[in-house]
Amino acid sequence: MSLVLHNTMTRRKEEFRPREEGRVLMYVCGPTVYNYIHVGNGRAYLVFDVIRRYLRYKGYEVFYVQNFTDVDDKIINRAREEGKTPQEIARFYERAFREDMRALNVLPPDVSPRATETIPQMLEMIKALVEKGHAYVVDGDVYFSVESFEGYGKLSGRSLEEMRAGERVEVDERKRHPMDFALWKSSKPGEPAWESPWGMGRPGWHIECSAMSLQHLGMGFDIHGGGQDLIFPHHENEIAQSEAYSGESPFVRYWVHNGFVNIREEKMSKSLGNIILVRDILKQYPADAVRLLALQTHYRSPIDFGPEALEEAKRALERLENCLFALDSFIAKPPPRVAPARTQREVELSDSFFDFERRFEEAMDDDFNTARAMGVIFELVKELNTYLDEQQHFQTPASPMVASHGRDTLIKLCRVLGLFAPPPEGEEVERAAEEPVAGAEDGDAFPAAEGLVELLLEVRAMARERKQFETADFIRSRLREMGIRVDDLREGQRWKFVGREE
């Protein structure tokens, strides 16, 4: 099956064909590190994380570059407010960003260049643009001349005339055209500054992404992503600079832009002051709930991250977790070496697992339709639950094997979307040697504690047998307080660490 994705440039879905077969080069505009990131930013990185994971799943080798904008007015202002250097501010929030991404289970980029470490490349580009007549110098500033670039406006779909007509901002008199933008700004005393042919200064915002993407990926790389608010002017300007500089086109093969985050019907934005930080949300909701919420809406549509929506997503996530929990405790012992015969129903069920995978891929192949893909996953959950329900009445010899296959399928599909991501390096290894314990989840327990829980549950089982329900309920509720959930099934108890309730 081939993958189609929506290209902002053509405003339609196109078949995805990377520049180099089997390899995808992508660049996503990274954060300006002057504050903790909010969930609007978070959504963008989540979206591209999923795209990246899916491309990998499809067998592509993906090379992912995401920059840090570490020189900028906002950083300078922030530094001034806090009596720190811009670099201190930038490094602090860069680290915070990495922490937030890790908490969201967003895979780290292959390369994350910093603007301040790419100055020579930017200067080279700017110099060339001046030489080619695409840029001009005024009082130590360098501006890109939009009129010198024929295709200006092609990404955002507007002409220069329209932009001039709709001009709302007071125009800098020194600019030849209102839309001309700064490639280089002369710096005032106390600001970060680098030497340049036009005097001490610092780069404009747009040039860094051109310089960094060209440095690491070259002209004509595959996917350039970001939020829809970057389409104009940021990405429009990147195209102009890069294509004018290289004399080649296109700069990027596919432009991918995600929709905004709303908080109760309103766009979340700094100017409206309704921002919610990723780290604050993660204090209240598991990362997978946040991710699931993002996945349940197509990436190009607006999405509401209000408390009600998060609450719903959390419960939906629990449905997934419950299913895995039930499967885990059902499978309990390892499957037999020789596969026992499956019933007709089990043969069909096993076959259907491949069907679910196929439908999942179909959804994802269609412009990363994660909402549809999640629908497929939930349908699979229902199938598996129904099967487990049947097993309460008549268990068949092959059932652990079938359940295990189902579990593998479910986990596999979830992980493509970044849900139930395995713990980062190392942590999983030490548990690998252990006997699987019913109900235990990866990384949540250690053997001694597990043994004690099992012991308590044996005591509880005895109490129940003797109809000492007060004792049984006491043990269950005390365990719950300690973050251990116990369910009674027809054939016994099952348990898992679920974490303490707030």
Partner RNA sequence: GGCGGCGUGGCCAAGUGGUAAGGCAAAGGUCUGCAAAACCUUGAUCACCGGUUCAAAUCCGGUCGCCGCCUCCA
Identify the residue whose tokens are 């309920």. Answer: 473
Residue placing its CB nearer to RNA in the complex, 20 or 172: 172
Q: Which two tokens stand for residue 452?
A: 């004690």
Run of H or E residues at 119: helix 119-131
Subset of 196-215 contacting RNA (CB under 7 A): 205
Among 111, 309, 411, 456, binds RNA (CB under 7 A): 309
Subset of 24-83 contacting RNA (CB under 7 A): 29, 31-32, 37-38, 40-41, 43-44, 74
Residue 140's φ and ψ, nearest 5 degrees, are 85, -5
Run of H or E residues at 222: strand 221-227
388 binds RNA (CB under 7 A): yes
Run of H or E residues at 496: strand 492-497
Strand partners, 184: 142, 203
Subset of 161-200 contacting RNA (CB under 7 A): 162-163, 165-169
Strand partners, 63: 25
Strand partners, 38: 277
Residue placing its CB nearer to RNA in the complex, 38 or 253: 38
DSSP, residue by residue, 42-104: HHHHHHHHHHHHHHHHTT-EEEEEE-BB--SHHHHHHHHHHT--HHHHHHHHHHHHHHHHHHT
Q: Which two tokens stand for residue 358?
A: 């196929």
Subset of 448-487 contacting RNA (CB under 7 A): 464, 469, 472-473, 476, 485-487
Q: Around 100, how many Cα atoms within 13 Å sit in the side-chain half-sphere?
A: 26
Residue placing its CB nearer to RNA in the complex, 125 or 486: 486
230 binds RNA (CB under 7 A): yes
312 binds RNA (CB under 7 A): yes
Provide the greatest CA pair distance for the chain: 91
Least distance in angstroms from the C-beta of 483 to RNA: 14
Identify the residue whose tokens are 């290289």. Answer: 246
Least distance in angstroms from the C-beta of 427 to RNA: 27
147 binds RNA (CB under 7 A): no
Residue placing its CB nearer to RNA in the complex, 246 or 297: 297
Least distance in angstroms from the C-beta of 375 to RNA: 3
Least distance in angstroms from the C-beta of 337 to RNA: 30
303 binds RNA (CB under 7 A): yes
Q: Name residues whose C-beta falls within 8 Å of residue 110's C-beta, 6 or more positions apart in sequence.
A: 63, 64, 65
Residue 436 per-residue DSSP state: P
Residue placing its CB nearer to RNA in the complex, 139 or 170: 170
Among 87, 121, 156, 249, binds RNA (CB under 7 A): 156
Among 231, 277, 449, 456, binds RNA (CB under 7 A): 231
Identify the residue whose tokens are 């493509």. Answer: 416
Residue placing its CB nearer to RNA in the complex, 44 or 331: 44
Least distance in angstroms from the C-beta of 65 to RNA: 15
Among 258, 329, 391, 399, binds RNA (CB under 7 A): 258
Cis peptide before 178 (omega within 30 of 0): no
Total number of residues binding RNA (CB under 7 A)? 87
Query: Between 396 and 435, how does the x/- string for binding to RNA read (CB under 7 A)?
Result: ----------------------------------------
Query: Between 339 and 378, how does the x/- string for binding to RNA read (CB under 7 A)?
Result: ------------------------x--x--x-xx-xx--x
d(CA 304, CA 307): 9
